[in-house]
Amino acid sequence: MEGIPFPFLIPIVGTISGTLMIVAIVAIVYWHKSREKELQVHQEMRIREMEHQRRMKELELEIEKAKASQTKERMNAKCE
């Protein structure tokens, strides 16, 4: 029994594993920040979409009111 078969690999493996841990931590942090940014963009887009739908409904109501007033004016003009 000699113990560790390749003792010269210990510093190399240690250096590589330490570097990989740092890379993994940086990758996880970057992924988390990009995910938060993506969710924020989706939320802003949803808010804009809801505002757009509200504006479109308001415009539809204005169009209906305008049509109704035109119809009423035509009816009054025919009666006179």
HSE-up (13 A, CA, CB side) for residue 57: 6
pLDDT of residue 72: 81
pLDDT of residue 75: 78
- For 6-51, the pLDDT digits (tens) are 888 889 999 999 999 999 999 999 999 999 999 999 999 999 999 9
Distance CA 46, CA 59 (A): 20
Q: Where are the domains of the chain?
A: 33-80
What is the rounded (10 degree) CA torsion for 13, 19, 24, 30? Answer: -170
Question: Residue 1 pLDDT > 70, yes or no?
Answer: no
The pTM assigned to this predicted structure is: 0.59
pLDDT of residue 53: 98
